[in-house]
Amino acid sequence: MARLDQLFVELKERGASDLHLSADYPPLLRLKGDLVPLKMGPVPHAQLKQLIFEIMTPDQIALAEKNWDLDFAYALEGVARFRANVFFNQRGIGAVFRIIPTEIKRLDDMNLPASIKKLSELEKGMVLVTGPTGSGKSTTLSAMINHINENREAHIITIEDPIEFVHPPKKCLVTQREVHWHAKSFSSALRAACREDPDVILVGEMRDYETISLALSAAELGVLVFGTLHTNSAGRTIERIIDVFPTEAQAQARTQLADSLKGVVAQQLIKTMDGKGRVAAHEIMVGGPALANIIREGKTTQVSSYIQTGLSEGMQLMDHSLFHLAQTGKIDKTEALLRAADKKMFDAKTEG
């Protein structure tokens, strides 16, 4: 057993989400949103480097030292899989390991809005799950992919860095590719995926122009494309995608996105009132003719109004989700207000 494995076991047993390692600091666990030090002293750079490199392959070590950082997955049998990022900073080496649950959650067991299941049952188009790092995007997406795997006969291709949840074939053929090890980049893997007769493609990161452009093209061709962005609302998600394109190409991008975008799920995790866990708040936007017009005309300021008028279709604003969680006592009202976009409206509703 590698020496770090003992820390991974403690992470799992204590219900933490992440292990932070940094030269000349004690190891830290992310527990219910807070960083908590383990009962051990600071670890010097040379010792920490040995600990981290012990669980890496020679190829991974070479790539990390060449690029000064590396994402990869590490599996500890009988415990869990971990998403790892190794990096170098001013003190030396560091790493963050996030636990990936071994069991993939089912949508029906996650208490998610019903509209999220409907989005996973689409035949084509683009569906985006967004939010800051640590907001549970990967967990939600894995449940959506699993729902397809259990209920549809299809070819699912995932492109990830690294592979997090491993999906065994159920009704679907599932092909999972990891950037750097199975493909050179997200864009090259996505270009190849379009030639591999896919029904569903999951793109783990949509950051650059080429990847986003290829994803839109795949959605136009009749593939159901899932992707992630680090945005906090549906309106900002639309803006972020369009902003990636050169000015002269933005009009065409709006047309493509208007035709392809079928839904956005923006989420964030908030500590529960009792401090024993975290609960997800969601903004949900479902595509339609009115949204397509908003996107084509570049009127993203109207997205919030569009969502408000779509309650019967399962849409909701993030502020409404936060208000409901606060009113039902699941989260603290002060915390909900801090996260609300329209604080005056939120405050008025709370007082009312």
User: Do 129 and 272 reside in the same domain of the chain?
Assistant: yes
Total structural domains within the chain: 2
User: Do 257 and 136 reside in the same domain of the chain?
Assistant: yes
Closest to 107 in 3D by CA, of 119, 90, 96? 119
Query: Which has the minimum average pLDDT: 50-64, 189-203, 337-351?
Result: 337-351
The answer to the question of residue 326 being in a domain is: no
User: Do 64 and 122 reside in the same domain of the chain?
Assistant: no
> How far is Cα 177 from Cα 17, in angstroms, rounded to an integer?
24
Residue 198 in contact with residue 155, Cβ under 8 Å? Answer: yes
- Tell me the mean pLDDT in the region 341-351: 76
The answer to the question of residue 344 being in a domain is: no
> Which of 51, 77, 100 finishes a domain?
100
Q: How many other CB atoms sit within 10 Å of the CB of residue 68?
A: 11
> Which of 64, 85, 100 finishes a domain?
100
The answer to the question of residue 337 being in a domain is: no
Residue 131 has pLDDT above 80, yes or no: yes
The answer to the question of residue 323 being in a domain is: no
pLDDT grade, residue 164 (50/70/90)?
A: confident
Cα dihedral across residues 321, 309, 294, 120: positive or negative = positive
> Which of 51, 78, 100 finishes a domain?
100
> How far is Cα 74 from Cα 191, in angstroms, rounded to an integer?
27
> Which of the pair, 161 or 47, is modelled with greater confidence?
47
Q: Given the structure tokens 């383990």, which residue do they identify? A: 38
User: Do 169 and 236 reside in the same domain of the chain?
Assistant: yes
User: Do 16 and 73 reside in the same domain of the chain?
Assistant: yes
Q: How many other CB atoms sit within 10 Å of the CB of residue 219?
A: 24
The answer to the question of residue 334 being in a domain is: no
What CATH number should be reported for the domain holding residue 85? Answer: 3.30.450.90
- Tell me the mean pLDDT in the region 17-27: 95
Residue 351 has pLDDT above 70, yes or no: no
- Tell me the mean pLDDT in the region 162-188: 92
At residue 172, what is the residue type? Answer: C
User: Do 62 and 144 reside in the same domain of the chain?
Assistant: no
The answer to the question of residue 333 being in a domain is: no
User: Do 237 and 279 reside in the same domain of the chain?
Assistant: yes
> How far is Cα 159 from Cα 204, in angstroms, rounded to an integer?
6
Does residue 87 sit in helix, strand or coil?
strand
User: Do 201 and 129 reside in the same domain of the chain?
Assistant: yes
CA 338, distance to chain mean position in Å, is 22
Residue 352 has pLDDT above 60, yes or no: no
Does residue 198 sit in helix, strand or coil?
coil
Whole-model pTM?
0.86
**Backbone φ and ψ of 271, nearest 5°:** -60, 135
The model's pLDDT over 248-303, given as tens digits with 9 standing for 90+, comes to: 999 999 999 999 999 999 999 999 998 888 899 999 999 999 999 999 999 999 99
> Which of the pair, 309 or 345, is modelled with greater confidence?
309
The model's pLDDT over 201-250, given as tens digits with 9 standing for 90+, comes to: 999 989 899 999 999 999 999 999 999 999 999 999 999 999 999 999 99
Q: What is the pLDDT of residue 142?
A: 96
Q: Given the structure tokens 């017009």, which residue do they identify? A: 293
Q: Characterize the bridge pairing of strands 69-76 and 92-100.
A: unpaired
The answer to the question of residue 19 being in a domain is: yes
Give the dihedral of Cα atoms 94, 98, 102, 108; nearest 10 deg. -170
Residue 129 has pLDDT above 90, yes or no: yes
User: Do 67 and 33 reside in the same domain of the chain?
Assistant: yes
DSSP character for 321? H
Per the structure, the complete domain to which residue 15 belongs is given by 5-100
User: Do 36 and 155 reside in the same domain of the chain?
Assistant: no
- For 238-288, give the secondary structure using H, E and C: HHHHHHHCCHHHHHHHHHHHHHHEEEEEEEEEEECCCCCCEEEEEEEEECC
User: Do 82 and 136 reside in the same domain of the chain?
Assistant: no
Q: What is the pLDDT of residue 111?
A: 87
At residue 221, what is the residue type? Answer: L
The model's pLDDT over 295-330, given as tens digits with 9 standing for 90+, comes to: 999 999 999 999 999 999 999 999 999 999 999 999
Q: What is the pLDDT of residue 350?
A: 65
The answer to the question of residue 290 being in a domain is: yes
What CATH number should be reported for the domain holding residue 228? Answer: 3.40.50.300
> Which of the pair, 39 or 258, is modelled with greater confidence?
258
User: Do 158 and 252 reside in the same domain of the chain?
Assistant: yes
Residue 11 in contact with residue 29, Cβ under 8 Å? Answer: yes
